[in-house]
Amino acid sequence: MSTSLRLGVAEFRARPGRALLPGVALVVGVACLLAALVLSDALTRSVDEGAPLTPSSVSHVVDVKQQPFDPSATGAQPTGPKLDDALLAKLSSVGRAVPVQVAQADLLDANGRAGQHRAEVHVQQPDLVRWPLAEGKAPAADGEVAVDKITAYERGLKPGDKVKLASADGKPVEVTVSGVMKKGGIDSRPIMVAGPDLARELDPQPFTKEVWVLGGNRDAVKAAAGASYVVWDPAPDADKIGNELTFILLPFSVLALATAVFVAAATFRAVYAQRQRQTALLRCIGAQRGPLVRRSLFEALVTGALAGIGGALLGGPMAWILARTFDVTGISVLFGAVELSPALLPSVGYVILGVVVAALLSVMAAVRPAINAARVSPLAALRDAESEVPPRSVRRLRLVFGLLFISGAALLALAAIAAKGTAVAPLAVTFSAIAAVTGLFWILGPVTVPFIARLFGKIGGSRWTQWKLAGAEVRRMPQRSASVALPLLLASSMVTFFLVLLGTAQELTYSFANEERPDATVVDAGERPLPSIPAQDGVAASAVLHKAENGSGVDPEEFKTWLKAQNVAGAEQLVAGTAIVPLHWEGRPFVESDGKQYKVVGTVAGTLTGYTPILGGLTTGPAEKVVVALKPGTDPAKFRADLQAALPNNPTVIVQTDADERAEADRYMHLGTVLMMVLLGLSVAVAVTGIGTALTISVQERRKELALRRALGVTQGGLQGGVIAEAVMLALVGVIGGGALGFGYALIAILSIGIPLVLPALSVVLPLVIGALAVVALAVVAAFGPSRGASRIRPAAGLASG
């Protein structure tokens, strides 16, 4: 054992750079892991800090006992008891009873108009402060509110600023922002805190979540509440989420760490092959395989430990960069947190975690290369291996196993398509993809990767000598090239796979959004009765829907005219006293409303009517919606602007258009694309480090060759260009090969799910192209150090080193 340790220490002293080279990928992998954990900690802390607290003066909490659901019952289930004024009166005999309520209101924008999403207003008593504030103070007066931090961030609000809300009757009410909450609204849905009087002005019928009781003993509270209610003692931190968000980013960081292990294993293999003559000489003088393996594993352990320390130090800055990226791209809003401040320096626990994980993974990555290196024959000391050409029997066995895996992948893919729509299909697709990668790029990688490189070499090779030489170098070391390309190929295939699936989902959303939907729908954001809608240019037809008990009432002729303008059939028989229903109501003979039966005479798509029955002739109720068919060529955005300008005294009247549906789908597609590319980009970054380490080893091995090129007149720039060309070629092999594999399996997955095969649009292709260019750029950056080293080789010294 001591001999192994001395050999390992001697290697570090003699060639520290080469000994530590396999740890470069592990540094990035551990940094990704700890960045995910640190950022998750910051995200969890941010959400927990904003969680509502139960004041210490609250003695008991009263809520409605859950009613059992009867699956055999027909019709509506019983509503059960309510948290109403009668209950408050009973509880007040025991102690102070305070309802915990949530109201709904409309927050007006800078133009004085309501948005698509209503604000959630939490009612807070002045002496029972529940919501923690990041700045400012809790609302004390009727004209004060506290806003959530996402709303404050997006609108640039701070304590003392003025905002406008819409009262229950739709009139603007100006209030002062007294404070900014630590809580953030999810996906830009505003959250506010207001006092009871202002909340009633905004919403006369707030929803009561529970009732607090201050004072009294539990038995007295239970007796006053009755058997239909439950009573429990409050927990101050009951609304905190704990560690539920801690591992939200963990799967992607684990994927990056797995990629780092692939890269480290390939680098260990190349490093051990580089010192093959030294190992053979040790075998000549009697060294046993055991000490040689232990030496290699000791080196790997030290390399991993040092990589863990480096990754731990990089984890905090990487988490900070991810947090800023999420802020800029809008991803943070989806989590209800912005401007996160992850710790730049890791805790002692995270440093220990990074060191342990990196050391263990480094040893795991080095086991097989170390064992193979120890098997070197003593005669290897007398020869110089210029290339990696395995024996014919090994190549034949590799070909057999590779074809078996590829055939299995093809059969599993066909089975997945045949079993579409079942639970077996996704499993078949997954195992087929694993088999395809194993066969094509792991077992047959030394054949597949040089073949792809040869194709690239023919493109432009006749014009650019450096490009042709780069292809020759990839073919000279096929096993190493395959090992370097495999991690990048896996990351590229996953990015392509998920983006194609997202793009297909977006196209399907577009097709659903285009199915029999009103060109425009005029509603009130708070479901208030609509005012008279003034006539607008560009309108082909419109119909007013009136509120009814079990549907919406319409004027039959007006509604049929509107449907005709929308090119929709199904309501030709609609007259007063009849009804048309959504497609999922088909088969019902009639609809009952206010004690009157309306005979069903047709069906239309639910997207046209809001999924409610349309009752002909029932126009006595308040107007709740106006559906509009626009003339061809009319701009929906202009129609919205003109209509809202014509209703200056009705700020809560909004116009929803088909373009809005598409814009919303585009927004979520954009966020999903960015999130997927950023998180999977971690694996790509780790994979690209493999290119840098491989080129570093390649330059060390070819010192004599590079020196000869310099002696023959090749400039320093020419040598640099050759090394960079190798990096670009390896990057293209991984990106193009992985992209083709990911695209193919995305199509197989779509077919296996059973949804229509819709090819993604430019919105998916463009991010893939940008991502590919980014990978090539990163590969060029990774090649900068090796290329500089190659250009500094002096001809005389390089030739003498051979």
Q: Can you tell me the distance from the alpha carbon of 16 to that of 79, in angstroms, rounded to the nearest whole number?
A: 74
User: Is the pLDDT at 124 greater than 90, yes or no?
Assistant: yes
Q: What is the pLDDT of residue 148?
A: 93
Which residues lie closer than 8 Å to 23 by C-beta, 6 or more apart? 264, 303, 304, 306, 307, 310, 358, 362
Confidence of residue 764 (pLDDT cuts 50, 70, 90): low
pLDDT category of residue 559 using cuts at 50, 70 and 90: very high
pLDDT of residue 57 exceeding 70: yes
| pLDDT value of residue 730 | 86
Q: Which residue has the higher pLDDT, 80 or 336?
A: 336
Mean pLDDT of 54-67: 86
Assess whether pLDDT exceeds 70 at residue 3: no
Q: What is the pLDDT of residue 508?
A: 67
What span, in angstroms and rounded, lies between the C-alpha atoms of 534 and 642?
A: 10
Distance (Å) of CA 636 to CA 182, 519, 522, 666, 673: 38, 8, 12, 17, 27
Tokens of 515: 């199915």
Is the predicted pLDDT of residue 632 greater than 50, yes or no? yes
Could you tell me which residues come within 8 angstroms of residue 262 by beta carbon, excluding any fewer than 6 positions away?
483, 486, 487, 490, 687, 690
Calculated CA dihedral for residues 84, 87, 88, 89, nearest 10 degrees: 120
Q: What is the pLDDT, as a whole number, of residue 96?
A: 92
| Ranges 130-134, 442-446, 558-562: which has the least confidence | 442-446
pLDDT of residue 74: 40
Instruction: Provide the sign of the torsion angle of the four alpha carbons 129, 131, 132, 137, taken in this order.
Output: negative
Average pLDDT over residues 94-99: 92
The Cα–Cα gap between 413 and 411 comes to 5
List residues bridging with 282 in a β-sheet: none
Asked whether the predicted pLDDT for residue 520 surpasses 70, the reply is: yes
The yes-or-no verdict on residue 406 having pLDDT over 70 is: yes
pLDDT tens track for 579-604: 999 887 878 888 988 888 999 999 88
Instruction: Tell me the per-residue pLDDT of 359-398, one tens digit each, with 9 for 90 and over.
Output: 999 999 888 888 887 777 776 555 554 445 556 666 778 7
Spatial distance between the Cα atoms of 657 and 663, rounded to a whole number of angstroms: 10
* 382-391 pLDDT per residue, tens: 555 444 555 6
Is 50 exceeded by the pLDDT of residue 73?
no
The single residue listed with the structure tokens 């000391």 is 381
Residue 19, pLDDT > 70, answer no
* Least trusted range by pLDDT, from 10-24, 87-101, 251-265, 537-551: 10-24
pLDDT for residue 75 is more than 50: no
Are the beta carbons of 372 and 360 closer than 8 angstroms? no
Residue 130 and residue 118 in contact, taking contact as beta carbons nearer than 8 Å: no
460-514 pLDDT, tens digit per residue, is 655 677 777 777 777 777 877 787 788 888 888 888 888 888 777 766 666 655 5
Q: What is the pLDDT of residue 385?
A: 47
Q: Is the dihedral of CA 536, 538, 540, 542 positive or negative?
A: negative
Mean pLDDT in residue range 250-269: 83
Query: What's the gap between Cα 450 and its chain centre?
Result: 34
Tokens found for residue 488: 């990048």
Structure tokens belonging to residue 494 = 């996953």
Asked if residues 343 and 316 have their Cβ atoms less than 8 Å apart, the reply is: yes
pLDDT confidence bin for 72, thresholds 50/70/90: very low
Element (DSSP H or E) covering residue 174: strand 172-181
Strands 614-616 and 551-554 come out as parallel
The proportion of the chain whose per-residue pLDDT surpasses 70, expressed as a percent, equals 88
Split at pLDDT 50, 70, 90, the class of 76 is very low
What confidence category does residue 13 fall into, taking pLDDT thresholds of 50, 70 and 90? low
3-state DSSP of 625-691:
EEEEEECCCCCHHHHHHHHHHCCCCCCCEEEEEHHHHHHHHHHHHHHHHHHHHHHHHHHHHHHHHHH
Q: Which residues, 6+ apart, have CB-to-CB distance to 166 below 8 Å?
A: 105, 106, 108, 114, 172, 173, 202, 525, 526, 651, 652
- The residue ranking higher by pLDDT, 509 or 675, is 675
477 or 725, which is more confident: 725
Query: For 22-45, what is the mean pLDDT?
Result: 87
Among the residues of 569-635, which ranges form H helices? 606-609
Say what the pLDDT of residue 513 is: 52
760: pLDDT strictly greater than 70: no
What local confidence, expressed as pLDDT, does residue 460 receive?
Answer: 61
Return the pLDDT at 383.
58
